[in-house]
Amino acid sequence: MIFKKATLKDFEGICRLRKELATDPSDRLATEYAPYHEENDRAWIQRCLRSRQRIIILVAEDPNGICAHAVICTEKVSKKMMPYVTYRQKARLVHLYVSRYKRRQGIGKRLMEYTLKYLKENGSEFVDLECYVGNKAADALYHKIGFKDVFVAKRFNL
């Protein structure tokens, strides 16, 4: 298994994985947000891979191709805000997804460990994330790695 920062060469593999994600009923993003639009998703992935901005895609790849990805967003603290915070750069795990055909093999844990190492080496001082309360497997993984619950958000759909 290879863990790495994605490049344009990984574009099609990431697109295949995200298309699978869009049809996975166990994933909150697939069921809660606007319907998946492949053309828009492909354009977004390409922008992320081409830019040197703060959105980064890390992937896990086996001999059959990309089987997991993590999307992270980093944010440096502006000079104006430095007196009010205790960090200079933070990161947010936007999404961690393991192909439903590769789950329960330790890939998610290893990708998460790689992600944390990558972020630390690149200046992030802490990482936050949101986890859907019904996603028990993800919640267990994050706790096992050392994440702590900070708050639970409530939502009411009208």
Contact between 70 and 115 under an 8 Å Cβ cutoff? The reply is: yes
CA 81, 82, 86, 92 torsion: positive or negative?
positive
Counts of helices then strands in the chain (DSSP H, E): 5, 5
> Rounded mean pLDDT of the chain?
81
Per-residue confidence (pLDDT) for residue 85, from 0 to 100: 64
| Top-confidence range, 1-5, 6-10, 90-94, 136-140 | 1-5
Superfamily assignment of 2-145 in CATH? Gcn5-related N-acetyltransferase (GNAT) (3.40.630.30)
Q: Which residues contact 142 (CB under 8 A, 6 or more apart)?
A: 112, 129, 131
